[in-house]
Structure 1
Amino acid sequence: MSRGLDSAVHLVQQFLSGSAKAGGTSVDATAGRGHDSLFLARLAGPEGRVYSFDTQETAIQSTRLLLEREGLADRVTLIKSGHEDMEEYVSGPVDAVIFNLGYLPGGDHSFVTRPEPTVRALESALRLLRPGGRVGLVIYTGHPGGTEECEAVEKTAAGLDGSLYNVIKIVVLNRAATAPVVIVIEKAGV
């Protein structure tokens, strides 16, 4: 996997490494294959906690196996539920939340994240976020519904009060129009 500016996931992880801390709480809103959960578990340390959500059993099992192989399964609570249910399981405050939107890599492409639940999940993440905490989103637009989801997330992020949140958007200019979009939101008041 690339670790440069061409990797949207790497960019988001770099931003979140500035807010996720040892002993803290983080959320992987889309467990997928478990790589973001593993990243957050390493940052959380033995005293921290990561909550990892996915609706697909395949994703939960894949994440569990990766965490067990790395010896970090005890730091992560796996939740088979949609990320829009985040506040039912996580009380906050949280240091970092990561979203990797779209479909499960190597999985059934008919199961995709959708605009309305994602916006509800983003709103929950922002309510749970501690001052100085960050939400990072990697938004894939090359599948049916991806552009609409990106537009909904952008509209929500752009509408946030600038005195309470700092919001950035990153696009790779010399790639296809369907290249992933990165949005990072930081709650003010460090």
Structure 2
Amino acid sequence: MLNSIKRATSFVQYILREKIKEGNVVIDATMGNGNDTLFLAKLVGLKGMVFAFDIQSVALESTKNKVSSNKLDSYNIKLINDSHENIDKYIMGTVNAAMFNLGYLPKGDHSIITKASSTIKSILSILSILKPGGIISIIIYYGHDGGKEEKDEVLNFLQKLSQEDVTVMQCNYTNHDNNPPIIIFIEKNK
């Protein structure tokens, strides 16, 4: 149930709950503090698999602690200390879904940000292994140095994807100040 659309993450989770099933293989492309990793693990259950990526070791530690404190140690969660642009080095089979939160690690080093080139490479890699009907969610946070450039490049790239292959939906907050997040869903058609 969706209680509010005020938080972009709540809206994304509401949509993904309908798409992700127990036993699915999913990706948290930007692990951060582990909130999406936990969300995905609970959806896919013990029979599923979560691959979670982040370039910062502090993100892995935070997520590892969150997994443990939520008693999910027996779940199939692989925490990977690498850029999401290298997904193809770690995942050989198909996946059902992926999540991105672009920007910087909350409560972390704000000078370390996601970049359009690695994000676009990662999206292409995921699209190549995404099952038909699978979905990618992207929340673009861009109110920081380098954020607008990433937003513009990623949105430009997404507009050029073939509608024969994928459906791309963009959701915006139209009455919020201070660079409100942009929500993107990409669903694979075939």
RMSD across aligned positions (CA) = 1.3
Per-residue deviation at 1:8?
1.0
Q: Which residue of 2 aligns with 1:102?
A: 103
> For residues 154 and 79 of structure 2, what CA distance do their matches in structure 1 show?
25
Q: Which residue of 2 aligns with 1:126?
A: 127
> For residues 124 and 12 of structure 2, what CA distance do their matches in structure 1 show?
18
User: In the alignment, residue 109 of structure 2 is paired with which amino acid?
Assistant: D
SS in structure 2 at match of 1:154: helix
- Structure 1: give runs of 5+ residues left out of the alignment: none
Per-residue deviation at 1:153?
1.3
Q: Which residue of 2 aligns with 1:162?
A: 163
SS in structure 2 at match of 1:99: strand
Moved over 6 A (4+): none
Whether the 8 Å contact between 1:141 and 1:147 is mirrored in structure 2 is yes
Per-residue deviation at 1:18?
2.4
Per-residue deviation at 1:12?
1.6
Per-residue deviation at 1:186?
0.2
1:9-28 mapped onto 2 (5 Å cutoff): 9-28=9-28
Q: Which residue of 1 aligns with 2:152?
A: 151
Per-residue deviation at 1:6?
1.6
SS in structure 2 at match of 1:95: strand
SS in structure 1 at match of 2:123: helix
Identity of aligned residues (%): 38
> For residues 140 and 176 of structure 2, what CA distance do their matches in structure 1 show?
15
Aligned residues: 188
Whether the 8 Å contact between 1:92 and 1:129 is mirrored in structure 2 is no
> For residues 27 and 97 of structure 1, what CA distance do their matches in structure 2 show?
4
The TM-score, its normalising length taken from structure 2, stands at: 0.95
> For residues 153 and 3 of structure 1, what CA distance do their matches in structure 2 show?
29
The TM-score, its normalising length taken from structure 1, stands at: 0.95
Q: Which residue of 1 aligns with 2:30?
A: 30
Find out whether 1:111 has 2:109 as its counterpart. Answer: no
Q: Deviations over 1:115-167 (max 9, x none)?
A: 11111111111112100000000100100111111111111211111111111
- Which segment drifts farther, 108-117 or 7-16? 7-16
> For residues 12 and 92 of structure 1, what CA distance do their matches in structure 2 show?
24
1:68-107 mapped onto 2 (5 Å cutoff): 68-73=68-73, 74-107=75-108
Whether the 8 Å contact between 1:165 and 1:188 is mirrored in structure 2 is yes
